[in-house]
Structure 1
């Protein structure tokens, strides 16, 4: 499954060239100026910033710092995130519904046309999908622990991780990543194996990051 994911996301993935040149320019600027990197400036002189939060462009800028300015460096983070999301989705489904369910889910995901496009282009959509998938995994893991002190601590830390991933997603696509929060809140408040007070406290802990 992962070999198929690598084939889908990597084979001829530089065919788009610099893809969205607006974000590629910001990645190039961030690769030569840490100030431009921090503020995702469109140019290394920091005359103007781009119209998106910084997280997705940070990854591209770091890749360009390592590999130089080229199509491979610009699009490498996107393809890697595609493979990582496929695996994380597989691992999440496999944990609760078995290996074949996870494999089928992974293939359905990677063979969805918009997914193949999203993870082979440098618009800032790949990272939020990876982060929301990770947050979903963390939320489901938090529901596994029984209501005792050790289980409560582990549950809280998984909820904190879920909140941190959603928060980092806000640095990628702002309010778009918050679309999952109502579902997260409902699932946790209904299914958490503890009393309502503890459920609310864990939910508040997830908000803190």
Structure 2
């Protein structure tokens, strides 16, 4: 196991509890912080495989840390833990490329599963968030999935794994333009809006059906 992890949360009890839990499960907690600046500095210095960040922290939010990691091409995969259920915050998390999004009330139950997904380059978003955002009925196959071709479905699966169009193009040995065309077709078939994050959000919420 021994995956290197940095944890950041401005609530000491949450920070200590999550750190102790993951250590007991064999994970390597290489650093912890109680504010966003300290968390980002640890990520830059220690280059952990994963960073588990609270969204609302002093100096830098978890979202801002994730955005800085993306901007500076850091390889650390970010998992956000939060009490926030707002769609705008969830959309921003998708936009900045986080690999995991877990509600705090389910953190202990879901964190191991989330980490297992993330270390295999697969995204994990708490199923509970879907019910809060009313995007789909949990346990029911999403409408429109049967309309997708095999090629489109393959691309949507990779989008659910947080892959960019460039990543997908390289993995499938096709052009970025072809990937973007497939994405456009999928958005039309699923009747999604044209926001840049809409397909990524749909794929993340419905990854268990892909």
- TM-score strictly above 0.5: no
Higher-Rg structure is 1
Normalised by the length of structure 2, the TM-score is: 0.32
The structure that is helix-richer by fraction is 1
Q: What TM-score does the superposition give when structure 1 sets the normalisation length?
A: 0.32
